[in-house]
Amino acid sequence: MKNLEQNAEIQLIETLKRLVRTAVLYAKQAHDYAMPDKANIPAAIAYLQRASCKMSAAEALYWAQYEVLARQEAEDIFQKFDEFADELVEDFATNHSQQWTDIQFNELMKVVNDSAFALQN
């Protein structure tokens, strides 16, 4: 029975990692289509939407299975992702400099790359 529980926990962890990594890859696409100079706003927003869906699913799984998945680095990624998404939308809505969008994306990637969710892990 213990092996079954361990396998279920491992599966939850792997599912969370997959969702976060997919969200980050979509966020990268959103960033790439936004840069430079709002190159393709519709594509950037479409990829941001896909990223947001995956990150929302990851966060819902995380909080639903908190006792198994609790990791501060996951919560940091959720926060940094929200900051990036908010900044990208704000940038397009107000037509202001993309500097902060780029900064927020780089902050997100730093947190991701310094975690168990790093794309190369």
Q: How far apart (Å, rounded) are the C-alpha atoms in residues 36 and 63?
A: 36
Closest C-alpha among 89, 19, 108 to residue 48: 89
- Global pTM? 0.91
* Per-residue pLDDT in tens (0 to 9) along the chain, 121 residues: 578 788 889 999 999 999 999 999 999 999 999 887 767 889 999 999 999 999 999 999 999 999 999 999 999 999 999 999 999 999 888 877 778 889 999 999 999 999 999 987 5
Domain boundaries, the chain: 2-113
Q: How far apart (Å, rounded) are the C-alpha atoms in residues 33 and 10?
A: 35
pLDDT recorded at residue 72? 96
